[in-house]
Structure formats: structure tokens, C-alpha cells
Amino acid sequence: MSRTALRICPLCEATCGLTLTIEGSRVTGARGDGEDVFSKGFVCPKGAAFGAVDGDPDRLRTPLVRENGRLREAGWEEAFDAVAAGLRPVVERYGPDALGVVLGNPNVHTMAGALYPPVLLGALRTRSLFTASTVDQMPKHVSSGLLFGDAHAIAVPDLDRTDHLLLIGANPLESNGSLCTAPDFPGRLKALRARGGHLTVVDPRRTRTARLADRHVAIRPGTDALLLAAMAQVLFTEGLVDLGGLAPHVEGIEELRAALGDFTPESVTAACDVEADEIRALARELAAARTAAVYARIGSCTVPHGTLASWLVDVLNILTGNLDRPGGVLFPLAATARTPRPPGPGHGFALGRWHSRVRRHPEAKGELPLAALAEEIDTATEEGEPIRALIVVAANPVLSAPDGNRLDKALGSLDFLVSVDPYLNETSRHAHVVLPPPPPSQSPHHDFAFNAFAVRNQVRYTRPAIPLEPGRMAETEILARLTLAATGMHGADPGAVDAMVVEQALGKAVRDPGSPVYGRDPGELAASLTGGTGPERRLDMMLRLGPYGDGFGARPDGLTLAVLLAHPHGIDLGPLRPRLPGPLKTRSGKVELLPAPIAADLPRLRAARDERPAGPVLVGRRHLRSNNSWMHNVPVLTGGSNRCTLHVHPEDAARLGIRDGARVRVKGAGGELVAPAEITDAVRPGVVSLPHGWGHDRPGARLAHAATTPGVNVNQLLDGTLLDPLSGNAVLNGIPVELAAAP
């Protein structure tokens, strides 16, 4: 007997609603949920393969504990005893910073990953925090923090209403969108063109997205900030700046005009390899459009001027009056967001409140660069203790961080490593304890993170589609117990973690005059929460305190968990609306157009106008059937065009004597590798491209299918020293390499 169940897809940022077919305790099929209020039936090949991802036979079913150098299966109690015994002595002897925490990208794709790591970090008080953000979008957080006073205030393009979309370093036809949650992103782009809108793509590769565009600008990698600065300069010099309704909320316009005055199109054209006339045309088209949105993603972040490029994206949106207006870029308002506070000055955003121990990298958003993790473990200094123990949650930095070989070795030297991971992968193979969460079908889902970047306000929640198998532990309970074990409370009831969070949150809300529960009894509010589990009660609390919530009775028609459960396909909360000055938390209470750290970094950008690569440079690429290193063990998602090949332009191939399919040696500052060539004019001459997340050939990992086609680890070409200085983000695109035909 088969049945169906709904599940929000966790396999990329688009958050499509799926209808799963279930036989017994197995997912045997997945299709788009046609009634989902947001995705309306859309599904991509990854979502359609949900059953294969969920049922991967290499998923660990029980914890693993290291004994006499080898990992063996163990029970949950034994595993948590080992975690407490391994972590606590390190903290007690060497202090909290000797215990590092690494959070991987899947944390933002699970409820547990959103709800528990903040509690763990708050209790540990370690400054040794590393996440996937510093090999991805940290520049955007930093630029938003500096402009708007809130690192999470990220305005997203109003895809369904805009007349003109300028996409930079983004390939949503493969990625399905990032920092812009939009199920069926490709369909939304086609709809833009069908309604007469204009799509421009800036990318050194002629991607599938670029092929859809009205205009494709094949820029030299790493020079987006120069192009954007020159576009802003054109807006100023041609009198095209028009802030519209934004004007009362913006300060620093004249300072910005002066700071960008010398970034003429002619001064950047050689560095960007884009004609000055084309730069002027880009600026004029943007200014002339009735509404327009500039949106940039990973290709513009993972470069030496990532923060400046991210800042300039919003500068262009502001100068053309497109920030915070329909058809431009708008700040979403998620159902679990804090109720907007009254406008006014905020605390602002600080960078560099502390520094890494070895190279003195400044923290950003409380994080140190992932590129510095290896040296923070393996290098002794007089500044303090190296990291001696590590908690890794859903991360595989041996593949995702620069210089995986060095990190691989460093992880092996730790006193203790605990990994929360469903697989024994290239990183968790070093663990002393591995704690495997259940497959997604056995977990509840609500998108705390991605609803904050969604192109339409909506809310959805799906309970586990399949009950927990015997012997499994819910991921929420794993992380609650890990929090207790790491903070000296091993053995306490894991439900106490949720109860403590509820008590603190409600206690704060009843003291806040702007809250709908101001002055009420927090104990009475806590008693009225509904939900079958601690995480559900927390979700109920956040919904009820949120901007659409019932305010615990103050707004009887508002959202609660019960209301959400009565709408299994979700609740549409309407299109994005203008919100300024609400999201602003700068000290001035305004958009601060030229923050001091940005102004101080402009001379470096000015100097980059004279820089040219001496040889070829490398960029990454994304494939529709892949997402980082997650799904390479699923046969239906690998093979075909999803291969770890080196894209080489025919002119470069001819010059170097490289044939299609031949082996090419690629050498970078951190090491070298050999990859098969795929000759294609989709990359511009002088640029080669390799996807990341491959390199599944290390002994001790248990990824049987991935090991049959391991690919190579592109991050091994990096030595970890190339960073965007403001954000600490690793430079992964436009890196210089040497190429040679391999024997």
C-alpha cells in the first residue's frame, strides 16, 4: 500500500513543495506539489530524486565512536558520554576558544540547524566559529551590515514585477537561485522576458542563464566591482541619479559621488575587458527602466573585492530609486521574523571585534574565515591556544575550504572532533564521534532562513513524512544533547534546551513595549503554546510573536502553529512590500551610503584597475543536479553532463595542445591536480572552469558511489591566503593557475 505525504524540499534554496509517494518506510517517488502556495508544482531533477537522496544506503544509521583508532557503531548514550568526556576537558583546561565550531551550509536547510546552533554558541562563548558563509556570501552580509546596520537585511529582486533585471555572477538556471528564494526561477526569468522585460547577465561564462538574456557581458573574472563602480560613476556624471522616495532615508550621496568620481568607464575598461560604451549602456538602461533590480551572487562574492561588489550592487539599486519599491529590490518579511521595531537609530554593525590568532583576520558577523581554520589548529602562537577540539555540524570543510590537504592533516591532530553528519565523509572520517541525523523524510521542515530571502512572503511547515525509524534520534534532539554535553550539562533533559529558549524569548517579549505581549505573564504564555515537540512549540511561539502572528490573542485572526497545520500547502502572505525605514539599524537610522570601512577599501579597488592576469584564471560552476558535495553519492544525480571536467576555451586548448577529454595538469598556489578537459567556447579565452565539491578519493570515507567517480578537489589549488579583507571570504573565482597537458 502506498500513500502520499507533503515535504518541503531541502535540497536547494528554492524550497519547493513536494508530494512524496511512500511505501512502508521508503520514499519511492517525488513530484511537485501543485497546490503549494509558493512553488505551485515546480520540481527540478534533484527534488524528483528526493527518494534516492533520502534512501542512500551509505547513510549512517547509528552513532560511531572511535576506539583504538577505529570507528565502530555505538548506542546514543555511549556516544554522548564520549562527546562530553572529549569536549569538556579541552574547554576547562584551555578555555572556550580552544573549542572550535564549524557549521556547514545544510544547517540553513533544516529546522534543527536553525534552532540549536545559536543556543550552542551562546552557551559556549567561543570566538572560534567558522561557517560556510566565508566561502560563499559573507561579503553580502558585511555590505548589508554597513549600509543598513543589519547583516541579515538583504533586499531581493522583485522577480515577478521587475521590468529590468541585471544578474551578476549568478546562474539560477543551474542553481535555482541563492539569497533569492524563488521556486521555478527559470520560469520567472522567462516570464520577465515574455512581459517585455529586459534581462542582462554579467558572467565570464556563457551559462544557460546567459543564453536566455537580452545582453550577455562576458566580463573578466573578479572585476565586477570595477564595472559596477563605473556604472555608478556614469549615473552621477550623466545626471541619472534619482533616489525617488528613498531620499529621506539615505545619507552620504555627495560623499559617494566624490569617492567614485575617478572610476570612469575608460579607467576600468581594460581591467574588466568590457568596452566603455557598453558600461555606459548598462548604466543608462538601468536608469531608464520603469523598475529595475540589480542582483549578484557567488561569482561576485568569492573574489578579492567581494564586499565592494556587494555594496555597489545596492548602491546602484539606491541611486536608481529601486531599493524598497515594487519591481525593484525589497526586504522580505518572514512569518518568524521579529515584529518590526519602531524606526530610529540602531546599534549599527561592527567589524573586527576580535581577530584570528595566527594571521589576525578580523571577525565578521562573529565568524572567522573558514580559510583560516587549518592554521588556527596547526599553528602555535603566543597569542593564545590553538583549537584543540572541534564540533562540526553538517560541514565537509576538507572539500569546501581552501587547501583541504592541510586541513585534512590538521583535523587528524585534534584532541577531539565530533561530527554531526549523515555520512562518513572526507571530514567526518577524522571524528572521534559521529552523530548521524535521520534522513529528511523523517524530519519536520520549516524554512527559517530562506523565507527571509523569498520573493514572495509565505509560510509553510511540514511534519515528518515518515516516523523515526527505531534506533534513530531526531536531529533536533541530537543538537540539543550536543549542546548540553558541550556546555557541562551532559545528562540533563534535552527538552530543557527548548524550555530555556522559550522562557528567555517570552521574558524578553513581555518587557518590550512594542510587543503584543507587553506586560503579560510569560509563564501563562508558555503554557498556551501548542505543538507535539519542543521545536514545534518554539515554532508556534515565533509565529505568534511574529509580524503576522496572533500575538497570543491580541490579534485573533493571526498566525499560530495550529493555523499553519490547517493549511498543509502553506499560506500566501502576499507580495513583498516597501518597508523602509523599518529594517534600518544603523546608528544614523538611515542608509549609510559610504561607510568608513568601504571608503577605506576603495584605494585597493582603484589600484586593481591596473592589474591584469599574467596567465589563465580559474572560475567555478554549478550543475542543476548537484549542490556542493551533498549529492555525489546518488547515482541518478551524477554522470551525464554533471561531471568534474575542466572547461577550456578552444583557443587556449589549441595553444596548449590540449585535446577534448585529455588530461590537464592545473597548478595553483596551494597545489595541483589533473582533470579531464572539456573544450567549450562557453568560457571566455583565458578562463578555465572546474566545479567544486568533488574529490571523493580519500581513504576512510564511506561514499561508495561517489568513490567510483571521485573527481578532483578544486579547492586544493588554493593555499588559503587569498581573501576579501573586509569579509574574510575566500577568493575562489578568478584565481591564477598554470595549465599544461598531462602525460
- Residues interacting with ligand SF4, by CB under 6 A? 9, 11-12, 14-16, 43-44, 46-47, 176, 183
Q: Which is nearer to ligand SF4, 149 or 183 (CB)?
A: 183
Grid cell of 585 as nine digits: 539599524
Taking the complex as a whole, how short is the minimal distance between the CB of residue 252 and ligand SF4, in angstroms? 38
What angle do the packed helices 117-124 and 495-511 form, to 10 degrees?
80
Residues in the chain: 743
Taking the complex as a whole, how short is the minimal distance between the CB of residue 647 and ligand SF4, in angstroms? 23
List residues bridging with 575 in a β-sheet.
Answer: 456
For 253-285, the DSSP string reads HHHHHHHTTT--HHHHHHHHT--HHHHHHHHHH
Taking the complex as a whole, how short is the minimal distance between the CB of residue 349 and ligand SF4, in angstroms? 31
Instruction: Tell me which amino acid residue 736 is.
Output: P
Q: Which is nearer to ligand SF4, 15 or 19 (CB)?
A: 15
Dihedral, 316, 172, 142, 327 alpha carbons, nearest 10: 40
Q: Is 14 helix (H, G, I), strand (E, B) or coil?
A: coil
N- to C-terminal Cα separation, the chain? 56
Q: Which of 238, 232, 216 is closest to 314 using CA atoms?
A: 232
Q: Which is nearer to ligand SF4, 43 or 602 (CB)?
A: 43
Taking the complex as a whole, how short is the minimal distance between the CB of residue 43 and ligand SF4, in angstroms? 5
Taking the complex as a whole, how short is the minimal distance between the CB of residue 453 and ligand SF4, in angstroms? 13
Q: Is the dihedral of CA 474, 476, 482, 487 positive or negative?
A: negative
Taking the complex as a whole, how short is the minimal distance between the CB of residue 47 and ligand SF4, in angstroms? 2
Taking the complex as a whole, how short is the minimal distance between the CB of residue 521 and ligand SF4, in angstroms? 41
Query: Which residues have CB under 8 Å from 419's CB, separation 6+?
Result: 392, 393, 427, 428, 430, 431, 433, 434, 435
What is the β-pairing status of strands 64-67 and 433-435? antiparallel
Q: Which is nearer to ligand SF4, 53 or 226 (CB)?
A: 53
Taking the complex as a whole, how short is the minimal distance between the CB of residue 14 and ligand SF4, in angstroms? 4
Grid cell of 417 as nine digits: 572532533
Dihedral, 367, 371, 375, 376 alpha carbons, nearest 10: 10
Q: Which is nearer to ligand SF4, 31 or 215 (CB)?
A: 31
Q: Which is nearer to ligand SF4, 36 or 403 (CB)?
A: 36
Q: Which is nearer to ligand SF4, 11 or 433 (CB)?
A: 11
Taking the complex as a whole, how short is the minimal distance between the CB of residue 176 and ligand SF4, in angstroms? 4
Q: What is the largest distance, in Å, between two alpha-carbon atoms of the chain?
A: 76
Taking the complex as a whole, how short is the minimal distance between the CB of residue 138 and ligand SF4, in angstroms? 23
Taking the complex as a whole, how short is the minimal distance between the CB of residue 9 and ligand SF4, in angstroms? 3
Grid cell of 724 as nine digits: 576579501
434 close to 64: Cβ distance less than 8 angstroms: yes
Q: Which is nearer to ligand SF4, 109 or 472 (CB)?
A: 109
Q: Which is nearer to ligand SF4, 432 or 445 (CB)?
A: 445
d(CA 271, CA 705): 43
Q: Is the dihedral of CA 300, 305, 310, 312 positive or negative?
A: negative
Q: Which is nearer to ligand SF4, 11 or 318 (CB)?
A: 11
Distances (CA, A) of 559 to 247, 492, 567: 35, 33, 11
Q: Which is nearer to ligand SF4, 101 or 173 (CB)?
A: 173
Q: Which is nearer to ligand SF4, 46 or 88 (CB)?
A: 46
Taking the complex as a whole, how short is the minimal distance between the CB of residue 632 and ligand SF4, in angstroms? 15
Phi, psi of 281 (to 5 degrees): -65, -40
Taking the complex as a whole, how short is the minimal distance between the CB of residue 447 and ligand SF4, in angstroms? 10
Q: Which is nearer to ligand SF4, 185 or 548 (CB)?
A: 185
Q: Which is nearer to ligand SF4, 176 or 322 (CB)?
A: 176
Q: Is the dihedral of CA 23, 28, 33, 36 positive or negative?
A: positive
Taking the complex as a whole, how short is the minimal distance between the CB of residue 44 and ligand SF4, in angstroms? 3
Cell 584597475 found at: 609
111 close to 446: Cβ distance less than 8 angstroms: yes
Grid cell of 104 as nine digits: 556547514
Phi, psi of 398 (to 5 degrees): -60, -30
Taking the complex as a whole, how short is the minimal distance between the CB of residue 626 and ligand SF4, in angstroms? 10
18 close to 472: Cβ distance less than 8 angstroms: no
Distances (CA, A) of 565 to 74, 439, 545: 36, 22, 17
Query: Which residues have CB under 8 Å from 615's CB, separation 6+?
Result: 686, 736, 737, 738, 739
659 close to 677: Cβ distance less than 8 angstroms: yes
Cβ count near 575 (within 10 Å): 13
Q: Which is nearer to ligand SF4, 9 or 392 (CB)?
A: 9
d(CA 612, CA 226): 13
Q: Which is nearer to ligand SF4, 183 or 531 (CB)?
A: 183
Taking the complex as a whole, how short is the minimal distance between the CB of residue 463 and ligand SF4, in angstroms? 18
Q: Which is nearer to ligand SF4, 39 or 396 (CB)?
A: 39
d(CA 502, CA 582): 26
Taking the complex as a whole, how short is the minimal distance between the CB of residue 109 and ligand SF4, in angstroms? 9
- Per-residue burial over 623-649, b if 16 or more Cβ lie within 10 Å, else e, is bbbbbbbbbbbbeebbeeebbbbbbbb
624 close to 174: Cβ distance less than 8 angstroms: yes
Q: Which is nearer to ligand SF4, 32 or 558 (CB)?
A: 32
Instruction: Tell me which amino acid residue 130 is.
Output: F
Which residue has the closest beta carbon to ligand SF4?
47
168 close to 202: Cβ distance less than 8 angstroms: yes
22 close to 31: Cβ distance less than 8 angstroms: no
Grid cell of 264 as nine digits: 570612469
Taking the complex as a whole, how short is the minimal distance between the CB of residue 118 and ligand SF4, in angstroms? 24
Please confirm whether the linkage preceding 437 is cis (ω < 30° from 0).
no
Q: Which DSSP category does 12 fall into? A: S
